[in-house]
């Protein structure tokens, strides 16, 4: 669906009346940030006149570049530019358009001026608002009248009950003295019965009218709340003054940034048992947006680039070491115009989207609000994760840009949409690896080289083999030409075991603790075929001068690398079993264990912000040797 702007907002029910009554002179101009090209701060009356006389442009979204926390949107319209300066208007844009990002280009003629106007959709003096308020008050009065009538009937019933009690007491007294009339007793009973019956009937009628009025009143109350919301809901109009030497048609492009948008990379890996030497890798951009506009048929691009860094000529300041009283320059920071846009989005986006996206039926509209809240919560989670990932890429000096390979509509209701940004077939080699210290499950892996011409971004990878979904894994950043491996599936035909040999392991606590450990690793092939795999283990490597590693014993003999990692390339026949031994001694000060325990307790404390809000995508890291020692001590 192509989002078109025709100068008026399509609203629901009475909200339509409110919005329709808003095409009025502006309350005043919105001043564009200083330094914005082509944007001048006009007088209020000038803007009002320009707005009312402007020619409305019918525009559509043609290009969108999505960043981690915003989108750059380009709209295109056609205009017949006359020989004298004429004002054209891009109307009904969301109120959170970033003023500082507004740019305009025209294929013919000359751009004389660009102004950004922002106005509220309603005000208290509007006739439509007064009508909504009057209708609500009339319903409230009717509801109050029925409640008053109900109170009167309740009082009347209480009076009849009092008469009934008095009559019973009087009949009892008359019976005792023998002065009672059957006719009088019957008249009293008939009176009380008729009165109670009539009161109950009247009460049911009033309650029925109350039940009928209550939904109308609730709907009216929502209309009032929506109408009040429109008094705080802004829309943006960009006024462009064009002039040509002679009347000529022109294409006019408006570009601006909006918050409420994010994307994250996702991948699929599709392998086949019939072709073990190649694998298909498909990359997607999962975009979520509640920007207030629908993108239909637009050219979509995705970028990891930061939009918050200022654009300046790179230059170095003097690096002064030591105590000095002089400073070469003081850089001041200014609040970005995007800050205002973000605040406006947070305060107005739900009502704006309800007005533009919601259905007329109350039930459907309530469902929209529930779905919208859920979608925007999802957007915030994804945005936090994506911003963190893309910032880590920038620290390594890497940015990447991708283009959607197929146009697809992306509605502004926050529903995530996946768009294809890459598909390639890579040469692969299937390997089986086992690292029993890390996991007692051996793994089938795929070793590949990224020959696609573009990087793979960090993200989730859905694994498929012969069309069967195997589960999810994830990847880090993979540069062009870089070799990498991905987990494919569990090699359950290999049985792994890694245990501490307590006969050959001991812990002696002295001035310096001495811990001698010996691990027994066993591997057994449970399949009916011979299998080849790589077995990995490790010995500690000390980067702490107080920790010494010696008496290393490895059977079968192999040499660890600089990181202490051990590898055996093995082949086991069906049913075969092999045993490996890894032993070493660690000498360290006892207080090291205490300090490591305190650090772990502090990290796990709820008062620790990093524990309460863990990183969404922590980078894998090798355990510190202090942690390894603490874990080993726990086994004694």
What is the CATH number for 586?
A: 2.60.40
Structural domain ending residue among the three candidates 230, 247, 281: 230
Q: What are phi and psi of 588, to 5 degrees?
A: -160, 160
pLDDT (0 to 100) of residue 45? 47
Which residues in 556-628 belong to E strands, given as ranges?
Answer: 565-572, 577-588
Buried b (16+ CB within 10 A) or exposed e, 363-400: eebeebeeebeebbeebeebbebbbebbebbeeeeeeb
Q: Do both 377 and 442 map to the same domain? A: yes
Q: What are phi and psi of 379, to 5 degrees?
A: -60, -45
Q: Do both 276 and 361 map to the same domain? A: yes
| Cβ–Cβ under 8 Å, residues 568 and 580 | yes
Q: Do both 397 and 359 map to the same domain? A: yes
pTM to 2 decimals? 0.69
As a whole number of angstroms, the distance between CA 153 and CA 612 comes to: 59
Q: Do both 299 and 412 map to the same domain? A: yes
Q: Beta-carbon neighbour count of residue 116 at 10 Å? A: 24
pLDDT (0 to 100) of residue 350? 82
Residue-number span of the structural domain to which 509 is assigned: 496-594+624-633
As a whole number of angstroms, the distance between CA 573 and CA 529 comes to: 7
Q: Which residues contact 440 (CB under 8 A, 6 or more apart)?
A: 496, 497, 498
Q: Do both 404 and 284 map to the same domain? A: yes
| Cβ–Cβ under 8 Å, residues 583 and 617 | no
Q: Which residues contact 444 (CB under 8 A, 6 or more apart)?
A: 430, 431, 432, 487, 488, 489, 490, 491
Question: Helix or strand or coil: residue 205?
Answer: helix
Q: Following CA atoms 371, 373, 374, 380 in sequence, which dihedral angle do they give, to the nearest 10 degrees?
A: 140
Domain-embedded: residue 618: no
Question: Helix or strand or coil: residue 445?
Answer: strand
pLDDT (0 to 100) of residue 47? 45
Q: Do both 204 and 297 map to the same domain? A: no
Q: Do both 30 and 51 map to the same domain? A: yes
The closest alpha carbon to 15, from 353, 363, 371, belongs to: 353
Q: Do both 573 and 505 map to the same domain? A: yes
- Which parts of the chain sit beneath pLDDT 70? 1-52, 121-129, 168-185, 228-230, 308-336, 356-368, 605-623
Q: Do both 462 and 485 map to the same domain? A: yes
Q: Do both 20 and 117 map to the same domain? A: yes
Q: Beta-carbon neighbour count of residue 108 at 10 Å? A: 14
Cα separations in angstroms, 268 against 455, 471, 475 = 15, 10, 11
pLDDT (0 to 100) of residue 481? 93
Q: What are phi and psi of 162, to 5 degrees?
A: -65, -40
Domain-embedded: residue 376: yes
Domain-embedded: residue 340: no
Q: Do both 254 and 402 map to the same domain? A: no
Count the domains in the chain. 4
Q: Do both 24 and 153 map to the same domain? A: no
Domain-embedded: residue 336: no
Domain-embedded: residue 326: no
Domain-embedded: residue 323: no
């Amino acid at each position: 669906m192509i989002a078109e702007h025709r100068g008026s907002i399509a609203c629901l029910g009475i909200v339509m009346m409110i919005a329709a009554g808003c095409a009025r002179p502006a309350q005043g101009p919105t001043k564009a940030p200083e330094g914005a090209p082509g944007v001048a701060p006009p007088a209020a009356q000038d803007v009002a006149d320009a707005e009312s006389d402007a020619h409305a442009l019918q525009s559509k979204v043609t290009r969108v570049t999505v960043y981690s926390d915003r989108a750059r949107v380009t709209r295109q319209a056609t205009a017949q530019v006359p020989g004298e300066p004429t004002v054209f208007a891009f109307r009904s844009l969301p109120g959170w358009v970033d003023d500082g990002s507004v740019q305009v280009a025209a294929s013919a003629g000359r751009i004389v001026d660009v102004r950004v106007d922002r106005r509220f959709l309603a005000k208290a003096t509007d006739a439509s608002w007064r009508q909504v308020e009057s209708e609500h008050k009339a319903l409230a009065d009717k509801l109050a009248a029925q409640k008053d009538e109900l109170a009167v009937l309740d009082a009347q019933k209480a009076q009849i009950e009092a008469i009934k009690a008095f009559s019973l007491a009087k009949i009892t007294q008359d019976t005792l003295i023998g002065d009672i009339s059957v006719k009088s007793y019957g008249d009293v009973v008939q009176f009380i019965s008729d009165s109670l019956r009539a009161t109950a009937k009247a009460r049911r009628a009033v309650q029925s009218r109350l039940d009928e009025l209550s939904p109308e009143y609730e709907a009216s109350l929502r209309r009032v709340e929506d109408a009040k919301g429109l008094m705080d809901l802004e829309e943006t109009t960009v006024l462009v003054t064009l002039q040509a030497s002679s009347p000529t048609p022109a294409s006019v492009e408006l570009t601006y940034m909006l918050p409420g948008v994010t994307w994250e990379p996702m991948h699929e890996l599709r392998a086949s048992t019939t072709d073990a030497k190649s694998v298909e890798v498909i990359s997607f951009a999962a975009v979520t947006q509640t920007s207030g506009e629908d993108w239909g048929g637009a050219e979509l691009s995705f970028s990891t680039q930061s939009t918050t860094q200022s654009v300046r000529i790179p230059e170095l300041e003097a690096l002064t070491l030591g105590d000095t009283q002089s400073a070469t320059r003081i850089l001041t920071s200014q609040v970005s115009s995007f800050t205002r846009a973000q605040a406006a989005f947070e305060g107005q986006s739900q009502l704006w989207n309800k007005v533009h996206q919601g259905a007329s039926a109350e039930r459907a509209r309530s469902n929209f609000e529930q779905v919208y809240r859920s979608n925007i919560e999802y957007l915030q989670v994804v945005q936090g994760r994506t911003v963190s990932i893309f910032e880590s890429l920038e620290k390594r000096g890497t940015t990447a840009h991708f283009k959607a390979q197929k146009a697809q509509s992306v509605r502004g209701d926050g529903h995530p949409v996946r768009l294809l940004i890459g598909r390639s077939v890579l040469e692969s080699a299937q390997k089986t690896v086992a690292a029993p210290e890390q996991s007692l499950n051996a793994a089938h892996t795929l070793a590949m080289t990224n020959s696609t011409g573009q990087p793979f971004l960090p993200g989730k990878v859905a694994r498929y083999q012969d069309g069967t979904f195997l589960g999810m894994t994830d990847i880090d950043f993979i540069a062009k030409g870089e070799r990498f491996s991905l987990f494919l599936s569990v090699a359950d035909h290999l049985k792994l075991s890694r245990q501490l040999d307590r006969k050959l392991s001991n812990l002696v606590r002295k001035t310096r603790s001495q811990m001698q450990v010996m691990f027994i690793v066993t591997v057994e092939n449970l399949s009916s075929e011979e299998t080849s795999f790589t077995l990995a283990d490790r010995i500690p490597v000390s980067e702490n001068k107080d920790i010494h590693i010696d008496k290393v014993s490895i059977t079968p003999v192999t040499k660890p690398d600089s990181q202490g990692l051990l590898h055996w390339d093995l082949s086991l026949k069906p049913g075969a079993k092999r045993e490996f031994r890894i032993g070493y001694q660690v000498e360290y000060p006892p207080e090291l264990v205490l300090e490591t325990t305190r650090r772990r307790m502090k990290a796990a404390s709820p008062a620790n912000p990093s524990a309460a809000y863990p990183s969404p995508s922590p980078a894998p890291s090798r355990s510190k040797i202090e942690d390894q020692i603490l874990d080993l001590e726990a086994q004694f």
